[in-house]
Structure 1
Amino acid sequence: MSDEVGAAEYLTPEERARLEIDKQLRACGWEVQDHKAINLSAGLGVAVREFPLKKGYGRADYLLYVDRKVVGVLEAKREGQTLTGVEPQSGRYADGLPDSVPAVRRPLPFVYESTGIETRFTSLLDPKPRSREVHTFHRPEHLLELLRQNELFTRGEGPGTFRRGLGSMPPVNPKGLRLAQYEAIGQIEESLAQDKPRALVQMATGSGKTYAAASLSYRLLKFGGAKRILFLVDRGNLGRQTLSEFEAFATPDTGRLFTELYNVQHLTTNTVNPASNVVITTIQRLHSMLRDEPELDPKVEESSLEEEAPRQVAEFGYNAALPIEAFDVVIVDECHRSIYGVWRQALDYFDAHLIGLTATPSKQTYGFFKQNLVFSYTHERAVKDRVNVDFDVYRIRTRIGENGSTVEADGETVVTFKDRLTGRTRQAVLEDDLIYSASALDRSVVAPDQLRTVIRTFRERLFTEIFPGRTEVPKTLIFAKDDGHADRIVQMLREEFNEENRFAVKITYKTTGAKPEELLSDFRTSYWPRIAVTVDMIATGTDIKPLECVFFLREVKSRNFFEQMKGRGVRVINDVDFQQVTPDARTKTHFVIVDAVGVTTTALNETAPLDKTPKSVGLDKLLQRVAEGAATPDLASTIGSRLTRLAKTLSAPELAEVAESAGISLSTLAGALVASVDPDAALDAASKARAAAGQDGEPSEAEVIAARQARVEEALQPLMANPELRTVLARKRNTERTIDEVSQDELLEAGPVTDPSVRAQQTAQDFRAFLDTNRHEIEAIQALYEVPYKRRVTFSDIRKLATEIARPPHQWTPKQLWEAYEQLDRSKVRGSGGEARTDLVSLIRYALAQENELVPYRSTVDERLAGWLLTQQQAGRTFTKVQLEWLHRIADIIAASLEVTLDDLDEGESALHGGLGKAYGVFGNQLQPLLEELNQVLVA
């Protein structure tokens, strides 16, 4: 053991924190010196330790000099100490600077508190100074620039610092903006002016989010004092599309192009141009830059975020080429995908305001943006405003597509097996009946006639039912299950339509030959191709205005993802441009969703599946990540899910081979991995750990996370420590698909979905899925989910739930939900409900099948009151006419707010009849016990 390491073991927590703070300061360009060895010529920024202050003020842990003048103070604390409580102390130090020490101003403008792990910063130059968490320290040059900006502001020569400039922005110029864009920009700027760190904007696909972002960027650069803005996307093609939007943006006041006034850089290397004002990049590249990795392979920017996610959460240090102050604002496009897990670290790095743009926010999105939804513009409103076009649904159902098939082994039937990785084929006599379900299609089994039947039906009905009277195939986008499936679809389209290669093309990030962006450009602006087949490369964000048909040949479980995919067809286009691409069309009035997998009739949810990694990331790669030391809950969950499925496909000898290598059965290993991420088990483990340590109380969130991590590492240990087992498991994965050329498919149904009950069914399914998804997270649902109820639902609970369901993507009201159930079965819906928020209680109970009828909550309360009165009468207890009138008033209050209190009797209708005083006169000392009884009887 070295002397240095040995000495470090004896450092106090405060001393360890100082070492880390010194390290970070030096990385950020500061010279760190002791007070006795001070040398202000050593650099632009000098941090002086233990600087003596005025009498009674003690010593400043660090006094910060910039250009030989003191600009700030840094208070150091041990790791784990909360920093907001330190602010008065550090602020007092800022006031206690000796009069003989030169300072830029008094009190000092910049104050830091840090443990070396957590750092907070306050700038007294801000309009309303308040501390904020920062990844590390600002560079001296940045503090000097803030001072310069403030000096110009005091002389009336500029907007001041960015945060001050946000408060004096001129009104938004509506020229060239749609009303929704105008409103969105105004709401974002209001949020920025209030110095809220994050703001979320929900705008329907096709409503001009990027154009609004360009307009906002122009205003922030010209009027707000912003120096540089980062625009983040999650696909390379979206970055190119964003660059085109900025290049085409003409400023409303001068008419000049944005790029004539400001430098816009689309990163294709890992170097930011110092002169750039707007930087456009993928989050994949930004992540790579912050980790100081070699130049990123451009192919990584074209693939999905999930597939290219780093193997474990990155703990970013500091990159001097990209300091935390590099950007004033970070705009995150399609932020529902870009902000979670490992990618989130890249956003937390910068000391910048975050603005999220998305058409389909999820509850995680709201959480990340601190519930600060500043503007919402729905698809329905966009259709009404003629910013979007609406859609119709056309369903195609086939026997094999619905039920799978069976090929009998008669001793003669030969089937083909094709390896997905090598493309090699082999033929073999079928030894056992081949029985497969619809879910196995294009996964483990390929049934050419099933695909042929769907494509042929599409062709035969295209000009008679889907687009009546048309003669040319409309621009169509087909979503495939994987790259191999996309290949087969392209081939089948060419055969069935009897067309040449350019008629139908595959556009995925694996496309070779022509670049994907070239194919996209042709698809968008040229006659050929008529049909594009993709997996998910152009599922989101990509602008294809002439698209008229969105064709689903793959299932989608996520509502957000489905809405994004569906949104490719909503774009409006002027008639001239439309007819240049599709000559036999006149006006784009709508688009059609062709659904061959039932995606429009199944419940979609917002939860992630147990297997959190795309199927294209093979088991061998996942096992290698474990070998390299990765041990995350997502990784354990994914491998557990894969091994569970693998265990069902292996033969007894193969299972025995795995058990011999592992020392335990494959099912036991898989079960331990899945169980390791169980939140309840982690909570239990953390509780037991506290009890064993003699500690009382509930475990903290950090303790629960640590307990879960320990369980994950323990479950992964057999894989981490056993190379032989990893080799055996990787070898066992089945890469062959069976080609079922025997089964003949048949059409079950093909036609437009016009029955309103179909949409009502979708709403009912989505509402039930929403309840299941949020049963542990939303208090109103949690309270009503299980019978007997654990606690009474409060009106506050219901109000919060009403707010939650009113948000995108669902945007339900109790009335809409009520009407959906009424459409499905009028015989089970009694009365006209949905008008009151309390009807949500009835809706939830009915959706969860706790009630056989859907009855307005008001009616339920009345029925319970009548039953209670009858019971009282049978017990010999009678009420006067006046008392009965008050009982009905009390029931009215409960029906409206789920409970009644003494204070409620002094409000509304009750107040008009004498209020609480009158009620006491009517019931005497029995009033309080009576209210408590009715709260139990009428609400339960």
Structure 2
Amino acid sequence: MTPEAKARVQIDRKLEDAGWIIQDFRQANLGAGVGVVVREYPTDTGPADYLLFVNRQPVGVIEAKPDNTILTFVEEQTERYAKSSLKWCLNTEPLPFLYESTGQVSRFTEARDPAPRSREVFHFHRPELLAEWIEQRETLRRRLAEQMPELQTRNLRECQVDAVRGLEKSLAQNRPRALVQMATGAGKTFTAITSVYRLLKYAGARRILFLVDTRNLGKQAHQEFHAYTPPDDPRKFTELYNVQRLTSASLDPHAQVCISTIQRLYSMLRGEPLDESAEDISLNELVQTEKQEKLVVYNPAIPVETFDFIIVDECHRSIYNLWKQVLDYFDAFLIGLTATPDKRTFGFFDENVVAEYSYERSVADGVNVGYDVYEIETKVTRKGGALRASEWVDHRDRLTRRKRWGQLDEDTVYTGKELDRSVVNKSQIRKVIETMKTAVETRIFPTRREVPKTLIFAKTDSHADDIINIVREVYGQGNAFCKKVTYNADEDPDSILSSFRNDYNPRIAVTVDMIATGTDVKPLEVLLFMRDVRSRNYYEQMKGRGVRSLGFEDLRRVSQSADSAKIRFVLIDAVGVEKSLKTESRPLERKPTLPLKDLLQGVALGLRDDDTVLSLANRLVRLSKQLDDKALERVAKTAGGVPLPKLAKGLLEAVDPDQVLGTAIEKARERGLERTEETLTEAEVLAARNLRVAAACAPFDNPKVREVIEAVRREREQVIDHINLDEVTFSGYSAQAEAAAKNTIQLFTDYIATHKDEIAALSFFYQQPYQRRRLTFQMIEELHDVLSRPPLMLTTEKLWSAYARVRQTAVKGSDTRRQMTDLVALVRFALGLENELRPFADQVDKRFQEWIFRHNAQRTTAFTPEQTEWLRMMKDHIAASCCIERDDFDYAEFADKGGLQKAWGLFGEGLDSVMDEMNEELIA
């Protein structure tokens, strides 16, 4: 099969998956179904690869190309077929739906969009969708650009107004991704719902996905949709639109808003059951491994057009790598909401930040409150501890909490990081809680009679239970005083959270992940960290639980001794979370910064530590999955018949501890020694390891093997860098361009000087004012014609560009379209009559203002408002034509308002003198 034939096999399969019926031209049966695709349909410009029919009407074309074709290069070909006359079809307008596809990559253009722009799509759209689109008068993108009314700002903060307007401006420009950065507590969800309402009502969106980080945040978002009342309708949002929070594998066909975690969405696309506990943990806290990449395939039950917009709330780093293909699956605008973006966030959303509202600004605006950090450090927290063998201690099952009293079999040394995981030191917990109690009562909130609402972050559910018991003991309070708010709580966590937010008790809540992000608890005034956090973003979100402002009466309702509104919160750091290293992502290999060619060279020259060997193996495994058969054959042929996957596997196995021990035992036996894993010496193990690594690395000693691996990598792969954001370090022209510009200017000035007596337009500027005739448009046309013809080839655009390069500071209006009359400005600038090169229309405007001001300053020559209106029209005509004459009043802009007769009625016999004066003042 030819490469294009292979592509067509893939295209056919994808079309059938999307519900299309595929037919050859000679066997066409347009009544076979809603959507019929006819291969090789004849047109007056040649046969189209695929012609799409919906309900018997031609609606689109697909241009098939072999793999590795750059599809944007063939868009004109697709457009040509779409505009062609179809045999036996009376198509009077171009077909609106244009696809290019290799079977692996597909691009789509909706020709009815304003400024139609192709976009990559994961899969072909269903014929039912194209039928729906055909019936619509305007496309979604046209509605976004032309039909969104002015935002009603009632009940919206300024930052929310900026966010909605910025987002809608971005959508109107058809920018596929947008990022809204709003500080925690500024009302991101309310802002998002406002946008959702407007997109549904005015843009005609069919369905919108609201993607949340955890199940609890999905519940909270659902509640906010229920509570939202739009500014132009007294009904609740959920009375107007159907909102579904996805809790099963089924999607309500009538739902216009769907709320889901990305884990559930992935399971639905894959048709796999979901472990619901996976929705309880923030993806910010998961460490990614390369094997976790979430691959998706087309699911006809959830086609790519299921959502028009996807709003990613608290967009975390995992959407940029681990779960990225889930988002790429849908043909939808992506909108990110976050308080804590990092460089990956900006990169993923194409640096299209449509609104920025920082935490610092939110504090200044009174939306949020500031915070202080109070540190608690204990000896065990910092250094850990040690237990001797034979000590009698409690042993507790982590899950059942069942205890047994027994002796330690060996010495146990633990660090502060192992606390509350493998070892529990209740004294450490008690000291932290006692110190917090004293500090709050005597230093942090000394005037309070009750404990301020406090949230404690624990490491695990087991750790949370220990904290709760000790808190109740230290404070001498009962069960209601301190509660656990986690997904594994015995009581309903939503009920506890509601009480924590609105009631007097509980005063202290302990959580692991459930209210670490996004959950709104405005009365919080103390956060105690008894766990460290890997992610900087996650830490910022956890801190965000305390930032929300609260009025005096609302705070008094739950904290009765409060003497003012909430003006701050206090972060109590008991584990060094403020000082610990925060990473934005976890490396997927040991040496991610080393280029592949350096890893290959290092191995060849003897750098064979485990990190290097494993990193090289990891790269080769990835590369082998990306190469086509031809490239893999090149590598295998150069490597003596060993395939690239086998080279990678050899490296992995070379440092596998079990296999190294097996080789060490085998080599000992060859020397007549009986060894076991326990009796092997370190030297024997190291020797076996080095032997295995040397054999695995031997193929890379051959420089030709290294060269071919690097070559196929360069040929095949492009890296899309979302990390390093660009900035302008220099803006200017190259030395060669500047030299060419100077030559152009010199050619122009030489020609002016040489032909000043031959060309009427040039003669006009060289004559003294009292000798000048009227400059006419015909004179400018003559000069333009001479300059733009060979050998000079000096167009107005070329001359203006040359001056902009050489005399940058003196040239204005380089970004405006050139008019022929701008040649007047060029000549004046070249002759030194003007210090700045400005568009001719700008010069006329300036002179007109000066001229009319002089007249109006004198009572005898002042113009009436109606005369001034006509003078402005006359000025605009001069700017376009170089002069104004009686015959010009026949032009539409004058004729529509009464023409010469009206002008004569306004100015009388002075009309001619006014025209002469304007021709002289505004041009000379």
Relative to the length of structure 2, the TM-score reads 0.65
- Map of 1:846 onto structure 2: none
1:35 paired to 2:25:
yes
CA–CA distance in structure 2, aligned partners of residues 473 and 466 of structure 1: 11
Give 3-state SS (helix, strand or coil) of 2:472's partner: helix
What is the distance in 1 between the residues matched to 2:630 and 2:297?
32
Inter-CA distance 220–440: structure 2 relative to 1 (3 Å threshold)? same
Is 1:111 paired with 2:98?
yes
* Cα distance per residue 1:397-428 (max 9 Å; x no partner): 1122122234456x6x4334444356455555
Tell me if structure 2 keeps the 8 A contact 1:166–1:224. no
Return the offset for 1:194: 0.5
Q: Is the 8 A contact 1:162 1:225 kept in 2?
A: no
Deviation, structure 1 residue 62: 0.5
Distance 1:713 1:591, change over 3 A: farther
1:357 is displaced (CA, Å) by: 0.2
Q: What residue identity is the alignment partner of 1:715? A: L
The letter of the residue matching 1:72 is G
Structure 1 Cα separation of the partners of residues 625 and 286 of structure 2: 32
**Corresponding residue for residue 259 of structure 2:** 280
User: Is the counterpart of residue 182 in structure 1 residue 167 in structure 2?
Assistant: no
Q: 1:286 to 1:710 in 2, by over 3 A?
A: farther
Q: Identity over the aligned pairs, expressed in percent?
A: 48
Deviates more, 1:396-405 or 1:303-312: 303-312
AA matched with 2:375: R
1:607 is aligned to 2:585: yes
* Larger RCO of the pair (alpha carbons < 8 Å, separation 6+): 1
1:385 maps onto 2:322 in alignment: no
Deviation at 1:607, TM superposition (A): 3.4
Q: What residue number does 2:615 align with?
A: 675
Query: Is the 2:482–2:509 contact (alpha carbons within 8 Å) kept by the matching residues of 1?
Result: yes
2:474 is equivalent to residue 486 of structure 1: no
Residue matched to 2:270: 291
**8 Å contact from structure 2 (residues 288, 588) kept in 1:** no
TM superposition shift of 1:96? 2.2
Contact 1:95 1:107 in 2 (8 A): yes
2:306 is aligned to 326
Match of 2:227 in 1: 248
2: CA distance, partners of 1:685 / 1:284: 25
Q: C-alpha distance in 2, partners of 1:80/1:721?
A: 42
SS at match of 1:215: helix
Deviation of 1:190 after TM superposition, in Å, equals 0.5
Cα distance between partner residues in 1 of 2:73 and 2:658: 45
Unmatched tracts of structure 2, length 5 or more: 593-607, 636-642, 663-676, 678-720, 732-803, 811-924
Instruction: Give the aligned residue type for 1:224.
Output: A
How many Å separate the matches in 1 of 2:409 and 2:162? 67
CA 1:713 to 1:32, structure 2 compared with 1: closer, same or farther past 3 Å?
A: farther
Whole-Å separation in 2 of the counterparts to 1:86 and 1:484: 61
Paired residues for 1:409-808 under 5 Å: 413-420=391-398, 423=401, 425-429=403-407, 434-511=412-489, 513-586=490-563, 587-608=565-586, 674-676=614-616, 711=648, 715=652, 778=724, 795-796=729-730
SS at match of 1:116: coil
Question: Could you tell me which residue of structure 1 aligns to residue 77 of structure 2?
Answer: 89
Task: Give the CA deviation at 1:602.
Answer: 3.6
SS of the residue 2:198 aligns to: helix
- Partners of 2:573 and 2:60 lie apart in 1 by 63
Q: Please list the CA deviations of residues 314-346 of structure 1 after superposition, one character each: whole Å capped at 9, or x if unmatched.
A: 432222222211211111101124513332221
Aligned position for 1:50: 40
Q: Offset of 1:669 from its aligned partner?
A: 11
Query: Which deviations, in whole Å up to 9, do the C-alpha atoms of 1:590-633 show, x marking residues without a partner?
Result: 11101111122344332326699xxxxxxxxxxxxxxxxxxxx9
SS at match of 2:184: coil
Q: Please say if 1:17 is aligned against 2:7.
A: yes
Q: Return the alpha-carbon distance in structure 2 between the equivalents of residues 549 and 709 of structure 1.
A: 57
- Aligned partner (choices 205, 217, 222) of residue 184 of structure 2: 205
Tell me which residue corresponds to 1:63.
Answer: 51
Aligned-partner Cα distance in 2 for 1:601–1:13: 57
Residue number among 149, 155, 170 corresponding to 1:170 in the alignment: 149
Question: Alpha-carbon deviation of 1:135?
Answer: 0.8
1:710/1:600 Cα in 2 relative to 1: closer, same or farther (>3 Å)? farther
1:361 aligns with 2:341: yes
Deviations 1:1-28 (Å, cap 9, x if unpaired)?
xxxxxxxxxx333222212111111111
Deviation for aligned residue 1:257: 1.8
Structure (1 or 2) with the larger CA radius of gyration: 2
Query: Is the contact made by 1:676 and 1:712 (CA closer than 8 Å) also made in structure 2?
Result: no
Distance 1:683 1:141, change over 3 A: closer
CA shift for structure 1 position 198:
0.3
Specify whether residues 355 and 708 from structure 1 end up closer, same or farther in structure 2 by C-alpha distance, changes over 3 A only: farther
Q: 1:378 to 1:144 in 2, by over 3 A?
A: same
Match of 2:132 in 1: 145
Asked if 2 retains the 8 angstrom alpha-carbon contact of 1:672 and 1:715, the reply is no
Aligned amino acid, residue 140 of structure 1: P
In the TM superposition, what is the alpha-carbon distance from 1:40 to its structure 2 partner?
Answer: 0.7
Counterpart in the other structure of 1:226: 205
Residues 466-518 of structure 1 deviation map (CA, whole Å, 9 limit, x = unaligned): 2111111111111112222112111111111111122222222232x323222
Unaligned runs of 5+ residues in structure 1 are 1-10, 154-159, 613-632, 634-667, 696-705, 726-731, 733-774, 781-792, 798-902, 910-940
Deviations 1:201-251 (A, max 9, x none): 110001000000111111111111212211111211111111111111111
**Does structure 1 conserve the Cα–Cα contact (< 8 Å) formed by 2:144 and 2:171?**
no
Q: Which position in structure 1 is the counterpart of 2:315?
A: 335
Amino acid in structure 2 at the alignment position of 1:122:
T
RMSD: 3.9
Tell me, yes or no, if the aligned pair for 1:198 and 1:372 is still in contact at 8 Å: yes
Output the amino acid matched with 1:391. Y
Q: Among 85, 89, 96, which residue is 1:101 paired with?
A: 89
Asked if the contact 1:552–1:595 (Cα under 8 Å) also holds between the matched residues in 2, the reply is yes
- Classify 1:221/1:778 alpha carbon distance in 2 versus 1 (closer, same or farther; 3 Å): closer
Correspondent of 1:124 among 99, 111, 133: 111
**SS state at 2:8 partner:** helix
Give the residue type in structure 2 aligned to 1:223.
Answer: Y
Contact 1:38 1:48 in 2 (8 A): yes
**Displacement of 1:537:** 2.2
TM alignment of 1:924-935, pairs within 5 A: none
The one-character-per-residue Cα deviations of 1:878-911 (angstroms, maximum 9, x if unpaired) are: xxxxxxxxxxxxxxxxxxxxxxxxx9998899xx
Alpha-carbon displacement from aligned partner over 1:386-406 (angstroms, at most 9, x marks no partner): 111111111111122122234
C-alpha displacement of 1:140: 1.1
> Are the aligned partners of 2:458 and 2:531 in contact in 1 as well (CA < 8 Å)?
yes
Partners in 2 of 1:601 and 1:109 — Cα distance?
A: 58
Q: Partner of 1:288: helix, strand, or coil?
A: helix
Kindly state the Cα deviation for residue 435 of structure 1 after the two structures are TM-superposed.
Answer: 3.5
1:557 Cα deviation after fit: 3.2
Q: Distance in 2 between matches of 1:130 and 1:298?
A: 40
